[in-house]
């Protein structure tokens, strides 16, 4: 890839020292304003600040005319996300969002199966992001009530984006949200009704002593099953396929390992380079992120009403 890290914004001395160890000649700035003074020399800036600051930081960079990659979620709600996308469009500044889980091996492999109709007509998609973490970490992602903390925005943004990429826009949402061990949601269940007719059941939890299968997809011609994810311990570890394989294609008692689709997370930034230098489409269309934010907003409404709620049009 042609990009290199030249500048970092960080305040904590320990993190500034770590940045200098990672990149010998990096410039370390105490705030975004100092970085923006170098706007003319920057090809792209990656915003990886806490979620509650994403909109502020993205708008400042857009105002300075710097192409931006924002970590997910783009904003705390759909209206704010829509505002950032509009500002970038009006200013003609390239904007994309780091929805890197589109490049997970299970996601790539499942897309390949769907493209060749290996599952027939899919009627249900399940994905779980479950952990056994009875003592939560003491950080903003767990503690920042109303400012971007909690699993709905942290992991829910990935789960919803993955479902939408596979099965299309969402028309209705039913949600159950609870805070069991943290001030913010650490127990999340979402049921999405896609316009295509597929139902998605998405789960994120930090108090799950027996995490379920990571992914299960049910279709008219069989099922796709992924039993583990990134080394998280599950009761299904013994079912993990061998090297170069990603999950199982299941037809009743017939079980076949599935070859892993090529690619990886590095493809995101390779796509960023082509986007900025060759004018290819953004690796993640910001309008997709607005729809995901709208689904998450609707989930909050459903958790209060206890009913299925319609997702507003983007």
Q: Say which residues have a Cβ less than 8 Å from residue 300's Cβ, sequence separation at least 6.
A: 152, 175, 177
Joined together, the tokens standing for residue 107 give 């996601």
81-126 pLDDT, tens digit per residue, is 999 999 999 999 999 999 999 999 999 999 999 999 999 999 999 9
Give the long-range contacts of residues 21-25, CB within 8 A, separation 24 or more.
none
At the fourth CATH level, the homologous superfamily of domain 7-100+266-280 is NAD(P)-binding Rossmann-like Domain (3.40.50.720)
Distance between CA atoms of 216 and 225, rounded to whole angstroms?
5
The domain ranges of the chain are: 7-100+266-280, 103-263+298-305
Instruction: Note whether 7-100+266-280 and 103-263+298-305 share their fold.
Output: no
Rounded to the nearest 5°, which phi and psi values hold at 102? -65, -20
300-310 pLDDT, tens digit per residue, is 999 999 999 99
177-236 pLDDT, tens digit per residue, is 999 999 999 999 999 999 999 999 999 999 999 998 999 999 999 999 998 887 777 777
pLDDT of residue 1: 47
52-73 pLDDT, tens digit per residue, is 999 999 999 999 999 999 999 9
Distance between CA atoms of 82 and 73, rounded to whole angstroms?
12
259-271 pLDDT, tens digit per residue, is 999 999 999 999 9
Does residue 38 have a cis bond before it (omega within 30 degrees)?
A: no
Q: How far is CA 261 from CA 93, 114, 182, 266, 309, in A?
A: 33, 12, 37, 14, 36
Per-residue pLDDT band at 135 (split at 50, 70, 90): very high
Picking from 72-76, 119-123, 242-246, which range would have the lowest pLDDT averaged per residue? 242-246
Distance between CA atoms of 223 and 248, rounded to whole angstroms?
8
136-176 pLDDT, tens digit per residue, is 998 888 888 888 889 999 999 999 999 999 999 999 999 99
Name the residue among 300, 77, 73 with its Cα closest to residue 177. Answer: 300
Q: Which helix (H) or strand (E) holds 159?
A: helix 156-167
Distance between CA atoms of 284 and 46, rounded to whole angstroms?
14
Average pLDDT over residues 10-27: 91
pLDDT of residue 2: 60
Does residue 73 have a cis bond before it (omega within 30 degrees)?
A: yes
Joined together, the tokens standing for residue 172 give 């209705």
Q: Which CATH architecture has domain 103-263+298-305?
A: 2-Layer Sandwich (3.30)
């Amino acid at each position: 890839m042609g990009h290199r890290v030249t500048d970092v914004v960080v305040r904590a001395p320990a993190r500034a020292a770590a940045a200098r160890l990672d990149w010998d000649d990096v410039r370390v700035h105490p705030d975004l304003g100092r970085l923006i003074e170098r706007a003319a020399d920057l090809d792209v800036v990656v915003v990886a600040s806490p979620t509650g600051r994403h909109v502020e930081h993205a708008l400042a960079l857009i105002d300075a005319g710097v192409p931006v990659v924002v970590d997910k979620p783009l904003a705390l709600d759909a209206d704010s996300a829509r505002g950032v996308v509009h500002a970038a469009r009006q200013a003609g500044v390239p904007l994309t969002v780091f929805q890197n889980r589109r490049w997970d091996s299970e996601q790539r492999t499942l897309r390949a199966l769907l493209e060749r109709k290996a599952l027939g007509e899919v009627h249900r998609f399940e994905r779980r992001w479950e952990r056994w973490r009875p003592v939560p970490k003491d950080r903003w992602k767990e503690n920042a009530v109303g400012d971007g903390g909690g699993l709905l925005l942290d992991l829910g943004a990935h789960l919803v984006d993955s479902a939408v990429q596979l099965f299309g826009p969402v028309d209705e949402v039913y949600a159950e949200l609870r805070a069991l061990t943290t001030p913010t949601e650490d127990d999340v269940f979402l049921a999405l009704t896609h316009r295509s007719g597929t139902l998605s059941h998405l789960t994120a939890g930090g108090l799950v002593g027996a995490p379920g299968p990571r992914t299960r997809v049910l279709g008219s011609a069989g099922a796709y099953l992924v039993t583990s994810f990134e080394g998280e311990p599950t009761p299904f570890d013994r079912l993990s396929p061998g090297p170069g394989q990603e999950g199982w294609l299941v037809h009743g008692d017939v079980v076949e390992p599935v070859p892993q689709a090529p690619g990886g997370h590095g493809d995101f930034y390779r796509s960023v380079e082509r986007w900025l230098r060759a004018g290819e489409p953004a690796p993640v269309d910001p309008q997709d992120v607005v729809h995901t934010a709208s689904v998450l907003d609707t989930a909050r409404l459903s958790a209060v009403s206890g009913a299925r709620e319609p997702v507003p049009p983007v």
